[in-house]
Amino acid sequence: MSATSRQADPIEDYIAALTAALHGPARIKARMIEEIHDGLADTVEAHTREGMAYQRAAHQAVGEFGTLDELVPSCQRELTITQARHTARAVALTAPFLVACWYLAWTTDHDQPWQLPRTAQLLAVHLAGVASVAALLAAATLATTGTLARWLPIPHQLPLAVAWTGTTASVAMAVATLALATASVLATNWPLLAFAGALAAASHAVVAASARACRQCARLPAT
Amino acid sequence: MRADAVRGHLDGLLLAVLEPGPLHGYAIIAAVQHRSRGALELRTGTIYPALNRLERLGLLSSSWQSSGERRRRCYELTDAGRHTLASERTAWSEFTTAIGSVLNPAAPPGFAT
């Protein structure tokens, strides 16, 4: 390999380092990186049109863009807020399913010759409460990080709060899945309870993955 | 003018250069530098997260547009963005008037001899 071919491209190095440093929703991150790559390419093109050699133009373009230490925190802040909005949306859409599942189990229980144990009934009430509070917090997050953010500053700890709200909701969904699976074994009307359990399991999978990504983003430094 | 002095006014600058019509990232940077006659030292990379934020706030909308063989994301002002720009202009005018009257005080009425 010749020395020339081994010579690193400053633009590609910068983009690779930026890609490695940022975490967030894949589609949004890819869009942000692509735009930044385009911007650097345009800057290099402008410099080379003025007669500058590519390597020098690329170094200058990177210098004008700002160091990674200057750029990463502001990019990460946007990605973290976007991830928090994704998690909030997942909770706001799926938590009502959890409440519906328990309502289904509750109403089905009244038609059965057997009764859900008192402990299970209390558990159902608590899980429904957790899911309802999580859904309300998620809806509030969607409002405050969207249009309302023009007038209200977004609290720095909000993404972390959303991450743990999502985590709590996902745990409640996992417990609901187990409880509904157990209840479906005992009930005569088992297909309904099994369906509700499958719905709770699917909700758990969606919310848990999103909350995990949100916890990861919220731990990263951002401005 | 230093980059940190510009930072607090970045939103207004971006909204202002987008007022005539849609532009992509590099064209926005070039427009800011052209309008300021090169006086503003922008860390040009920082405009991309700022554009994303303004879009999240509903002040800008964006779409991919083809330009030759390349595809670029172009931004344009929304109605809310135009309204915010008008507010930014008013606030800036009031601010510069207030600071100007302190830095360059006119002789108060009745003081003239």
CB B55 within 8 Å of CB A145:
no
pTM over 0.90: no
Instruction: Tell me the mean pLDDT per 10 residues along chain A, length 223.
Output: 63 95 95 93 92 93 91 94 95 84 68 61 79 90 88 89 93 86 75 82 93 93 74
Within chain A, what is the greatest distance between any pair of CA atoms? 88
Q: How far is Cα A173 from Cα A94, in angstroms, rounded to an integer?
A: 9
- List, for residues B83-107, the tens digit of each pLDDT value: 999 999 999 999 899 988 898 877 5
Q: What's the pLDDT at A116? A: 59
Alpha-carbon torsion A197, A201, A206, A208, what sign? positive
pLDDT exceeds 70 at position B44: yes
Q: A23 CB contacts (<8 Å, ≥6 apart)? A: A29, A76, A79, A213, A216, A217, A220
Helix or strand run (H / E) with residue B62: strand B60-67
Q: What's the pLDDT at A208? A: 95
CB contact under 8 A, A38 and B24: yes
Question: Which chain B residue shows the shortest CA-CA distance from A223?
Answer: B49
Domain ranges in chain B? Answer: 3-88
Domain ranges in chain A? Answer: 10-70, 115-218
Chain B touched by A71 (CB under 8 Å)? yes
CB contact under 8 A, B26 and A149: no
Three-state DSSP class for A117?
A: coil
Q: What's the pLDDT at B87? A: 94
- Amino acid type, B82: R
What's phi and psi for B105, nearest 5 deg? -65, 130
Report the DSSP pairing between strands B23-24 and B60-67. unpaired
Which percentage of chain A shows pLDDT scores above 70? 88
The DSSP annotation for A34-54 comes to HHHHHHHHHHHHHHHHTT--H
Chain B touched by A36 (CB under 8 Å)? yes
pLDDT exceeds 60 at position B35: yes
- List, for residues A90-140, the tens digit of each pLDDT value: 999 988 877 877 777 667 656 555 555 667 667 777 888 888 899 999 999
Three-state DSSP class for B63?
A: strand
Measured between its terminal Cα atoms, the distance across chain B in Å is: 39
Q: How far is Cα A128 from Cα A101, in angstroms, rounded to an integer?
A: 9
pLDDT exceeds 70 at position B110: no
Q: Which two tokens stand for residue B40?
A: 């503003």
- Disruptive mutation site among B44, B74, B84 for chain A (greatest number of A CBs within 10 Å): B44
CB contact under 8 A, B50 and A149: no
CB B33 within 8 Å of CB B55:
no
Q: How far is CA B24 from CA A43, A117, A193, B73, in A?
A: 13, 63, 53, 6
- Disruptive mutation site among A19, A65, A70, A77 for chain B (greatest number of B CBs within 10 Å): A65
Q: Mean pLDDT, to the nearest integer, of B54-83?
A: 92
* pLDDT top residue among B69 and A19: A19
Helix or strand run (H / E) with residue A58: helix A54-65
Closest-CA distance, A142 to chain B, in angstroms, reads 11
CATH architecture of the domain with residue range B3-88 = Orthogonal Bundle (1.10)
